[in-house]
A and B are shown apart, each in its own frame.
Chain A
């Protein structure tokens, strides 16, 4: 993570093309989602059920994970536990190196982005090829994902065409969706047929059966999951659900929320290994990387209910302006604003919980009812408490201002005094048209694009008092 959110956002706001792409793409998905959600009369019940299942899992995560490990092992899989990104990468590398794998195909996994797996593999001479079309676009462009479901959402068709022409070494290419997918298909097909190992993420780990589920649109995932003899799945520990039956809820809410489809075109569920069909060797790496710390905080635990549908990103008015890159991690938008700082124990991404107007649109669409505004406020209060433990934070303008305001709000008389004071102080700032057009320090943020109504001569309370006197 590099720049703070406001600084990164300022840069991105200058990119008119990117903002148009993001606004257009999110509008399309959002409207599709609304249509297929509206047709479900039981949508709120589905949300309640999804939320309850996920909450129950989090409260019993230890036993469900062990149950998953047992069932998966019994079915022929091997389960590994990784405390952090480095350990997860080490485990994956060890498996691949011992089989002398030089090229590995991948199916969309934001978790491997989170741990920087591709770079770790490359450093050891193993090339990783993304096979999800959007991820492939990101990879070929040496870019980073800007959306958890549609990672190349910030690019439009023309930009993708140019990228393909250049990176795939093509002489000519049309710019219809068909042309582009055909090019990707030809390019990927060769890799599918030669690769000896695949790495996947997971949408769900099923504790009861030890199965792993992935939903996708293109079928490239299916190729990865069935063709190479070696398959490694990397999943966050929160991805577990109790039973196969629970998919009933999520296979309805996830596709509707994510891509506005009633069902994903490809739903793959596999359990361990099976005879001569499919991968002969299957590993699951269960990744903690900060998650158990989030789990320990009863207020923000709900963050881990997330099923990564991206619906909150598509409705977020802040994300709409900046796209995902402003959030400094693969998790952009509202979910990123709460997840990223927590994954880093608030040591990185401390500006993210403030990257929200608390409009609540995210909570409204979340299929597992994560009260994102509530978690944002909780994280803000933790950040404030930490700052108040430093001299700089204590004497900082925000803390001083808030302490002063708290004292003013302690009584009606103090408020009246403050109003009079404010009226006197504002005089030098009043512009020619009666409004305030420029303010110093913190408040300059307001006046950079907005005028401010001056404090009128008589407050409401003063008027009320005068009216009372006149009447009596």
Chain B
């Protein structure tokens, strides 16, 4: 099947390896990946910071780029949450019936990466191998907005050689929260400290998630403390096979 990738602005810029991993996994499963270079951002940063007016043209641009797409894969649950939770409101506020229609047609075509695999493509074993101790951080949006439940865990449990270790207080925010990390840097840092403690306690070598935004935050704290735990997006783990982790 033909799958359109929305990589997300920050993955495009900071985490190209995640995008490559998504492509690798989907192609390995026999699908064709489409990437429209006109894509930019979902509008989340503007919307959540209160620049809702500025977010609207970004949202409209997104709708334009994906008008023809059959299925859209997004390796970032917070972008999916932005689309599902806020696009309808943006359309409603605009009073533009066509805008609302386009949003309505978009919603059923949007999937977060792990959600696409398990709920849409019915794949729980992506054929991956990754012989490491891994813990899974459930990002707030994946948990509460998307309701992913144990979907990412099901994928991880089927990875050859992977030892999945539980994370304490798995449903607690890591303190990233977009511009919150800067506007409330002290509280955000304190929240991160607690999260890092849980990660260390898990005994994992790698902390994974379906959102690189949380992982950017966790990496930042881990690296500052020179701690040996690595961070990797779920797609990057699923891209690894016994033949090696190649992009």
> Which positions in A face B, CB cutoff 8 Å?
5-6, 9-10, 13, 317-318, 321-322, 353-361, 363-364, 374, 377, 379-385, 398, 402-403, 405-406, 408-412, 414-416, 419, 422, 433, 435, 437, 442-443, 445-446, 448-453, 455-456, 458-465
Q: Is B134 an interface residue (CB 8 A)?
A: no
Q: A317-B175, A410-B57, A415-B12 are in contact. Are A357 and B220 (CB under 8 A)?
A: no
Instruction: Provide the bound-state CA to CA distance between A409 and B140, in Å.
Output: 25
Instruction: Provide the bound-state CA to CA distance between A384 and B45, in Å.
Output: 14
Q: Is B183 an interface residue (CB 8 A)?
A: yes
Query: Which are the 7 A-B pairs with shortest beta-carbon distances?
Result: A357-B177, A380-B50, A450-B220, A445-B185, A359-B173, A460-B19, A449-B189
Q: What chain B residues lie within 8 Å of A433 (beta carbons)?
A: 223
Indicate which residue in B35, B45, B140, B183 contacts A464 across the interface (CB closer than 8 Å): B35
Does A377 lie within 8 Å of B48, measured CB to CB?
yes
Q: What chain A residues lie within 8 Å of B58 (beta carbons)?
A: 406, 409-410
Q: What chain A residues lie within 8 Å of B185 (beta carbons)?
A: 6, 445-446, 448-449
Q: What chain A residues lie within 8 Å of B177 (beta carbons)?
A: 356-359
Interface residues in B47-99 (C-beta closer than 8 Å to A): 47-55, 57-58, 61, 85-86
Does A450 lie within 8 Å of B192, measured CB to CB?
yes
Interface residues in B127-156 (C-beta closer than 8 Å to A): 140-141, 144-145
Distance from A449 Cβ to chain B, minimum over Cβ atoms (Å): 4
Chain A CB count within 10 A is highest, among B36, B51, B52, B183, for B51
Does A415 lie within 8 Å of B144, measured CB to CB?
no
Does B49 lie within 8 Å of A10, measured CB to CB?
no
Q: Is B121 an interface residue (CB 8 A)?
A: no
Of chain A, the residue at the smallest CB distance from B176 is A357
Distance from A349 Cβ to chain B, minimum over Cβ atoms (Å): 14
Instruction: Provide the bound-state CA to CA distance between A410 and B43, in Å.
Output: 10
Distance from B84 Cβ to chain A, minimum over Cβ atoms (Å): 13
Q: What chain A residues lie within 8 Å of B37 (beta carbons)?
A: 412, 416, 461, 464-465
Q: Is B216 an interface residue (CB 8 A)?
A: yes
Does A322 lie within 8 Å of B187, measured CB to CB?
yes
Q: Is B182 an interface residue (CB 8 A)?
A: yes
Indicate which residue in B7, B140, B180 contacts A460 across the interface (CB closer than 8 Å): B7
Distance from B172 Cβ to chain A, minimum over Cβ atoms (Å): 5
Distance from A374 Cβ to chain B, minimum over Cβ atoms (Å): 8
Does B14 lie within 8 Å of A435, measured CB to CB?
no
Of chain A, the residue at the smallest CB distance from B8 is A460
A-B contact pairs, 30 of them (CB 8 A): A9-B187, A10-B186, A13-B187, A322-B187, A353-B50, A356-B177, A357-B175, A360-B140, A361-B172, A377-B48, A377-B52, A380-B48, A381-B53, A384-B51, A402-B49, A409-B41, A412-B36, A415-B12, A415-B41, A443-B182, A446-B185, A449-B220, A452-B220, A459-B16, A461-B7, A461-B37, A462-B16, A463-B16, A463-B20, A464-B37
Instruction: Provide the bound-state CA to CA distance between A462 and B13, in Å.
Output: 10
Does B38 lie within 8 Å of A411, measured CB to CB?
yes
Does A317 lie within 8 Å of B50, measured CB to CB?
no
Q: A358-B177, A381-B52 are in contact. Are A435 and B35 (CB under 8 A)?
A: no
Q: A410-B40, A412-B39, A446-B182 are in contact. Are A402 and B46 (CB under 8 A)?
A: yes
Give B1-40 as 1s and 0s: 1 = Cβ < 8 Å from A's Cβ atoms.
Answer: 0000001010111111011100000000000000111111
Does A5 lie within 8 Å of B184, measured CB to CB?
yes
Instruction: Provide the bound-state CA to CA distance between A398 and B46, in Å.
Output: 11
Q: What chain B residues lie within 8 Å of A435 (beta carbons)?
A: 223
Instruction: Provide the bound-state CA to CA distance between A458 and B221, in Å.
Output: 24
Q: What chain A residues lie within 8 Å of B176 (beta carbons)?
A: 357
